[in-house]
């Protein structure tokens, strides 16, 4: 950008002159040198990596050509090690699943769960009881359908899970809301509300009976989790 500077000439006259600032050549050249050094460093690293890979391949090919039997032995050892690792991984996962299933048999584990964890727990219970296509879909906007599945007899299952703290009960309002969405919105053929607590007696319970909505309270859920067999009304 130009700027104005005033000065006095020898004859005493006051004049103003326009000047343009000069860029410092040193800073631009320094930046270019830095970028060049970085790019050259990256290129050098890539080149060394490629040379190292090529050298390694050459050494392997040379070793196989000179010692075919030892090469086959090494390959066999590597395959055996991979197979052993896979077997240990499968065994460990099986052990973890067995321990999880043993913990899931106890209703007390649900008392310290969050609502989302309770939905996952009930989904595992459904899957372990012969229900298929079990899907956890709870969350904001689920309209009461926390878990869906297909029953062993082919009916579509829609379940709402209510994880309750000690002393709290599922009220009639929650039952009435679910009664209005289970079949009309979610197409449920086997509708249920599952809780680790109990239900309050009232209009909601009577409405559930009239509409064929199954209420699974703590006592029924505990027996289901322990035996792996759902209540008779759900079978």
Residue among 192, 230, 231, 228 at smallest CA distance from 212? 192
Q: What is the pLDDT of residues 84-125, one digit of tens each?
A: 888 777 777 766 666 766 767 789 999 999 999 999 999 999
pLDDT value at 19 more than 60: no
CATH of residue 208's domain is 3.40.1350.10
pLDDT value at 139 more than 80: no
Give me the number of domains the chain comprises: 2
Evaluate whether residue 178 is within a structural domain. Answer: yes
Between 152-156, 164-168, 221-225, the lowest mean confidence (pLDDT) is in 164-168
The residue assigned the tokens 């973890």 is 96
* Domain of residue 156, residue span: 107-234
Q: Which of 81, 101, 121 is the last residue of a domain?
A: 101
Q: 149 has which bridge partners? A: 157
Q: Which of 82, 101, 120 is the last residue of a domain?
A: 101
pLDDT at position 205: 87
pLDDT at position 88: 75
Q: How far apart are the first and last CA of the chain?
A: 86
Average pLDDT, the chain: 82
Between 31-45, 70-84, 106-120, 147-161, the lowest mean confidence (pLDDT) is in 31-45
Do 94 and 143 fall within a single domain? no
Q: 145 has which bridge partners? A: none
pLDDT value at 211 more than 90: no
Do 55 and 135 fall within a single domain? no
């Amino acid at each position: 950008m130009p700027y104005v500077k005033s000065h006095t000439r020898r004859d005493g006259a006051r004049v103003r002159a326009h000047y343009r600032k000069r860029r410092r050549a040193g800073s631009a050249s320094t930046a270019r040198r830095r970028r060049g050094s970085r790019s050259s460093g990256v290129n050098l690293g890539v080149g060394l990596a490629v040379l190292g890979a090529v050298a390694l391949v050459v050494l392997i090919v040379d070793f196989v050509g000179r010692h075919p039997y030892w090469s086959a032995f090494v390959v066999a050892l590597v395959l055996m090690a991979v197979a052993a690792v896979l077997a240990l991984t499968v065994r460990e996962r099986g052990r973890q699943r067995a321990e999880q299933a043993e913990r899931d048999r106890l209703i007390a584990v649900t008392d310290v769960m969050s609502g989302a964890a309770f939905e996952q727990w009930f989904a595992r219970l459904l899957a372990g009881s012969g229900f298929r296509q079990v899907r956890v879909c709870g969350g904001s906007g689920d309209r009461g359908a926390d878990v869906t599945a297909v029953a062993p007899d082919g009916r579509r299952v829609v379940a709402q899970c209510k994880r309750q703290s000690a002393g709290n009960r599922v009220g009639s309002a929650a039952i009435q809301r679910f009664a209005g969405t289970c079949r009309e919105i979610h197409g449920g053929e086997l509708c249920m509300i599952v809780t680790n607590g109990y239900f309050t007696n009232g209009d909601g319970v009577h409405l559930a009976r009239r509409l064929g909505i199954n209420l699974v309270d703590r006592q029924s859920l505990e027996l289901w989790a322990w035996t792996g067999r759902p209540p008779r009304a759900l079978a």
